[in-house]
Amino acid sequence: MPGFELINKKEKDAVNSVFKNGNVFFRHGFENLRNNSYQVVNFEKNFKNYIGSKYALGVTSGTAALRVALASIDIEPGDEVITQSFTFVATIEAIVESGAIPVIANVNENLDLDIIDLKNKITKKTKCIIPVHMLGNPCNMKEVNNIASQYNLYVIEDVAWGLGGSFKNKKLGSLGHIGAFSFDHAKAITTGEGGMITFSNKKLYLKARAWHDHGHENNPKLPRWEDSRKSSGFNFRMNEIQGALGNVQLKKLNKLVKYQILKNKNLSKIVNRYNLITRKKYENSISTCDSFIFFTKNSNDAIKLKKHLTKFNVSTKILPEAISWHFVGSFNHIKEIKNISFLKKDLKKSKDFLSKAISLPIMINDNNLEKKLSIALKNFFI
Ligand SMILES: Cc1ncc(COP(=O)(O)O)c(C=O)c1O
């Protein structure tokens, strides 16, 4: 359920405050105009406190967050980065953009990163693993971290969907070396477009901070235009309006996740009446329950049921449609995905699991979902 549903006067006031404080939209400089207002800096501070990470860096999108994260670990052409078959195209784009080779592991029947396949795909060239907490459900971070330390690999969590979730009582985004978050229109909190990167390691944070800002070190002893630099970079800076929105939205996050978890419980009870299996989570972990996911027997049933649900005004989200934008085996358009025909065969297991899953969006403004689903399923299974 996207945070945009919760937007009210508080977000408008926060944005207006940026206009009131000298129209300074830029996170750096203009000290004489900005009335000591630093929205992005505050958002970063509040965010790292929420996640329990040492450092946080605001960026322009979740895709940028992944790209900057990869730059901070000094990815080089030819390095391999392993991620999972069930993810949005952005994860692959960031890997390709960094010059690395994307290597794709299957997901298991619960649609999380398949740990055995992950291990099988490690080579001498592997530098990093990107587990993706798809639709808010945590991957098995204990196993991912064990493998990473065994092979001396970096772990970048793709937390685009996982903000507010946790694994073994630690917030998602604080379990790997780096966490990459998205605040686009569909996510738990939104800043229009935007993203955040969390770090436990100061060296990685400083590298990322410079790289996302043309290499600027923001040396406090120097004016910005005489600033020191050690590396090249790019521009992925978050602006003050995004920071202002983020600060307000973050305060609404806990309430939102609580609501989603409650809705998921209610919906689970309904589908359990028909012996349909729901997506599981690991012990001592919290899924943000961004969407409600359950499984049919096979892909034909999923398609049939999806059509039926639509008639009863129950819409689906990503699943079973994942086969288009959220399944790497379909990304024929990315030329760097080498040997797509091999990949399609290799990811057959993932495709089978994905195509029998159904995911329902959980929206605050859809109070009737339980009732609608109840009636639709009763009708379907008569
Ligand atoms: C898994 C995943 N990673 C990264 C992103 C990229 O986020 P953004 O849209 O903010 O660039 C998305 C966006 O939906 C996503 O689903």
Q: Is 61 in the pocket of ligand 1 (CB under 6 A)?
A: yes
Instruction: Give the whole-angstrom CA distance, residue 316 versus residue 61.
Output: 25
Q: Which of 184, 196, 242, 318 to mutate to test the pocket of ligand 1 (most atoms within 8 A of CB)?
A: 184
Indicate yes or no: pTM above 0.75. yes
Which residues have a Cβ under 8 Å from the Cβ of 50 and sit 6 or more positions away?
Answer: 171, 250, 253
Instruction: Give the whole-angstrom CA distance, residue 68 versus residue 235.
Output: 10
The CATH architecture assigned to 3-249 reads 3-Layer(aba) Sandwich (3.40)
How far, in Å, from the CA of 173 to the mean position of ligand 1?
14
Which residues have a Cβ under 8 Å from the Cβ of 300 and sit 6 or more positions away?
Answer: none
Give the model's pLDDT for residue 1: 65
According to CATH, the topology of domain 253-380 is Aspartate Aminotransferase, domain 1 (3.90.1150)
244 residue type, one letter: A
User: Which position has the token pair 């929205």?
Assistant: 39
Ligand 1: which atom is nearest the Cα of residue 132?
1
Torsion angles phi and psi, residue 158, rounded to 5 = -90, 105
What residues in the chain have per-residue pLDDT under 70?
Answer: 1, 322
How far, in Å, from the CA of 312 to the mean position of ligand 1?
30
Ligand 1: which atom is nearest the Cα of residue 186?
14
Give the CA-trace dihedral at 347, 138, 323, 59, to 10 degrees.
Answer: -110
How far, in Å, from the CA of 382 to the mean position of ligand 1?
39
Instruction: Give the whole-angstrom CA distance, residue 12 versus residue 258.
Output: 24
DSSP annotation of 219: -
Instruction: Give the whole-angstrom CA distance, residue 216 versus residue 277.
Output: 51
Give the model's pLDDT for residue 67: 98
Instruction: Give the whole-angstrom CA distance, residue 305 versus residue 297.
Output: 11
Angle at 290 between CA 282 and CA 159, to 5 degrees: 70
Neighbours of 247 (CB within 10 A): 21
How far, in Å, from the CA of 106 to the mean position of ligand 1?
19
Neighbours of 14 (CB within 10 A): 18
How far, in Å, from the CA of 182 to the mean position of ligand 1?
6
Do the two domains 3-249 and 253-380 of this chain adopt the same fold?
A: no
Give the model's pLDDT for residue 365: 86
- Residue ranges of alpha helices (H) inside the chain are 9-20, 39-51, 62-72, 89-97, 115-120, 141-151, 202-211, 240-272, 299-311, 340-346, 348-355, 369-380
Torsion angles phi and psi, residue 27, rounded to 5 = -70, -25
Q: Where are the domains of the chain?
A: 3-249, 253-380
Give the model's pLDDT for residue 92: 97
Give the model's pLDDT for residue 322: 65
Q: Is 179 in the pocket of ligand 1 (CB under 6 A)?
A: no
